[in-house]
Amino acid sequence: MAELKSASPSSTPPATHAEHMDISGRDYRATSVAGLPALEEHGVGIDHKIPQDDAIQAQPDLAWSRIRHYLREPLAEFFGTFILIMFGDGVVAQVVLSGGANGEYQSITWGWGLGVMLGVYTAGISGAHLNPAVTFANCVFRKFPWRKFFPYMIAQILGAMVASAVVYANYKSAIDVFEGGRSFRTVPGYSETATAGIFCTYPAPFMTKTGQFFSEFIASAMLMFLIYALKDDGNIGAGPLTPLGLFFIIFGIGACFGWETGYAINLARDFGPRLVSYMLGYGHEVWSAGNYYFWVPMVAPFFGCTFGGWLYDMFLWTGESPINTPGAGLYRLAQPKRSVWSNTYQERRGQITHA
């Protein structure tokens, strides 16, 4: 997790902390620059957040409180994605391994839907992206700091990996029974009793590579477009119902676009557990299945989410966005300057001026 700390300044004088303690939660963002990185509020569902950092700083001498402060956002993404995959991979395990007796296809749409919903409640601190492609689109369209992109992505992947390992541990006996023995671990398309589909997605056999990509692209675009709709207070806006709205979005994508490729729509959700299943002995087929399908749910969501975000900003969003700049944001492409492209550049200027 060393990389996760790279986003933070390396030394923070205790004196600054003392100052920080006097400041109410509301003014927190402006002052946290003094020594602590700001926790920007972006992404899903945290409009009404009341920062609780004063509680942390009540014990500024505690080593763990200080360490945790810098890891606060990656930790939130880690646990949010962990919860998502616990429920998501868990429900597939239960449905597959019980042979449909303790669940059916609709249970899977429930499990992933509520996994996202409860993951969002868990990770509100960090904006609850839970998906590198959502983080990416927020960097492009909603001024989410680019320097946070990799820490977020790594935290999301690690959360997904740990969760899929826990699901494996929990269902190990049942997998042994289902596969016919301890030494069998097989991948869909290579066996009638394959269980690798518990962990990551495998496409339906009739899909072409183009079809696979298109399906993931469309589902990711829907995801991002609808997240921006729920979060748009100039529209109806879901407000505190946003996590519930996400339940319906994910349920809907699963019920309507989930058959062909298993609606991964998320690099962390698919690559993390896939890597774990490879480490657990499911063999090289986890990569080669579906004509080397594995890269599609890694790449397509970035294109899909960016397209979905662009679609919303281009046609419906009227708030701040690169699309609402001259040339619908295209003039930017000719200006490779930090002042134009950085999401944090102007903020810093402003803060220095105030200081």
Per rule CB under 8 A, is residue 177 in the interface with its own copies?
Answer: yes
**173 near its own copies, rule: CB under 8 A:** yes
Using the rule CB under 8 A, which residue among 240, 334, 354, 355 binds its own copies?
A: 240
- CB contact at 8 A, 297 and 271: yes
Least CB distance to its own copies at residue 227 (A):
10
DSSP H helical ranges for 44-189? 53-57, 63-97, 105-122, 132-141, 149-170, 172-179
Q: Tell which phi-psi region holds residue 40, choosing left (phi > 0), alpha (psi between -120 and 50) or beta.
A: beta
Binding-residue pattern over the window 32 to 51 for its own copies, x denoting contact by CB under 8 A: -------------xx-xxxx
* Subset of 70-109 contacting its own copies (CB under 8 A): 75-76, 79, 83, 86-88, 90-91, 93-94, 97-98, 101-107, 109
Of the pair 23, 166, the CB lying nearest its own copies is at 166
Instruction: State which of positions 243-262 bind its own copies (CB under 8 A).
Output: 243-245, 247-249, 251-252, 255-260
Residue 316 engages its own copies in binding (rule: CB under 8 A) = yes
Neighbour tally for 7: CB within 10 Å? 18
184 near its own copies, rule: CB under 8 A: no
2 binds its own copies (CB under 8 A): no
- For its own copies, the closer CB: 325 or 346: 325
Write out the binding residues for its own copies, residues 259-288 only, by CB under 8 A.
259-260
Q: Cα–Cα distances in Å, from 304 out to 46, 115, 146, 230, 301?
A: 24, 21, 19, 18, 5
Q: Which residues contact 7 (CB under 8 A, 6 or more apart)?
A: 37, 70, 147, 148, 151
Task: Tell me whether residue 136 or residue 257 sits nearer to its own copies (CB atom).
Answer: 257
- Residues 299 and 296: their CA atoms lie apart, in Å, by 5
Q: Which two tokens stand for residue 196?
A: 């690798």
Q: How far is CA 281 from the centre of its chain?
A: 26
| Residue 226 found at the interface with its own copies (CB under 8 A) | yes
| Dist CA 38 CA 141 (whole Å) | 19
* Residue 27 binds its own copies, judged by CB under 8 A: no
| Number of residues counted as binding its own copies (CB under 8 A) | 104
| Least gap, CB of 234 to its own copies (angstroms) | 3
Q: Applying CB under 8 A, does 181 fall inside the site for its own copies?
A: no
In whole angstroms, how close is the CB of 188 to its own copies at the nearest point?
13
Q: Please, what is the minimum distance in Å from the beta carbon of residue 45 to its own copies? A: 5
Asked if 146 interacts with its own copies (CB under 8 A), we say no
Within 186-225, which residues bind its own copies (CB under 8 A)? 204, 206-208, 211, 214-215, 218, 222, 225
**DSSP assignment string, 293-352:** GGGHHHHHHHHHHHHHHHHHHHHT--SS-GGGSGGGGTGGGG---HHHH-SSHHHHHHHH
Cβ-based nearer residue to its own copies, 3 or 233: 233
Position among 169, 334, 352, 355 found at the interface with its own copies (CB under 8 A): 169
Q: Per CB under 8 A, does 238 bind its own copies? A: yes
Determine the Cα–Cα distance for residues 251 and 241; give it in Å rounded to an integer. Answer: 15
Q: Hey, what are 1's tokens?
A: 């997790």
